[in-house]
Amino acid sequence: MRKKFFSVILALVVVVSLISINVYATSKDGIMIDKLLRTEIEPLNVNELRALNAGKDICIKTIEEDLSNLQNDESFYTVNVDTDDISLMASEKVIDKSLTDSDGSQSVRFDLTSDMTYYKVWIDNTSSRKYNVTITYKTSTGDVIEEFTVDAGKRVTKYYEGKVGLFSSKTRYVNITSTDGSALSGTIAVRIASTLGELQ
């Protein structure tokens, strides 16, 4: 009976271990690389936004209007803050480029750092064609971290937790290809940070 009990426990440990190992992508040399944390997809076209909002007009209030309302409120006041003890959030926009390749294929390289291992990739597709996208490790033809598509007129935003260490490369590539080989049109941006919250 005791032997059977230990066998069950061992089986559970193996299953849990397999689940945890498969959370991260793994390179050919067995090094765990990056984990996808979140995906956001949004239309770039205002009419599509209205359709998502059940046909209602979108109300946009400017910052100036908000500040004006606050200043007219009797409870509004200002506070002087000593910034010497405030630590600034560590994030950096490392890529902000137009997608313009006439052959319909473009690769963009960026590097993580030992302190900034979280990264956000967002791609705007302003063409009339779908884009195939891969995030790769070390080179543009390296191990694939993730593969996804960006529909025409859409923005796709991806959040990742990168793995950087003694035996792991800091280099990543974003590779964008149009499905029919037509010229690319849009933008790509990448921001790196020390925590997920600093990417918001």
pLDDT (0 to 100) of residue 23? 45
> pTM of the prediction?
0.67
Instruction: State yes or no: pLDDT of 86 exceeds 80.
Output: no
Count the domains in the chain: 1
Contact indicator for 69, 156 with CB cutoff of 8 Å? no
pLDDT tens track for 89-119: 578 999 999 999 999 999 999 999 999 999 9
User: What average pLDDT is seen over the chain?
Assistant: 76
Average of per-residue pLDDT across 37-41: 89
pLDDT (0 to 100) of residue 45? 74
pLDDT (0 to 100) of residue 59? 44
In a domain, 158, yes or no: yes
What is the C-alpha to C-alpha distance for residues 200 and 159, in angstroms, rounded to an integer?
A: 10
pLDDT tens track for 145-155: 999 999 999 99
Instruction: State yes or no: pLDDT of 144 exceeds 70.
Output: yes
| Range(s) of the domain holding residue 182 | 25-44+90-199
125 CB-near residues (< 8 Å, 6+ apart): 44, 131, 150, 151, 152, 153, 154, 155, 156, 185, 186
CATH assignment of the domain containing 36: 2.60.120.380
In a domain, 85, yes or no: no
In a domain, 108, yes or no: yes
In a domain, 52, yes or no: no
In a domain, 68, yes or no: no
Q: Which residue has the higher pLDDT, 106 or 62?
A: 106
pLDDT tens track for 2-17: 555 445 444 443 343 3
In a domain, 78, yes or no: no
In a domain, 16, yes or no: no
Radius of gyration of the chain (CA): 23
Instruction: State yes or no: pLDDT of 164 exceeds 60.
Output: yes
Percent of the chain with pLDDT over 90: 50
Greatest mean pLDDT among 73-87, 132-146, 154-168 lies in 132-146
In a domain, 31, yes or no: yes
CA dihedral 60, 64, 68, 69 (to 10 degrees): 20
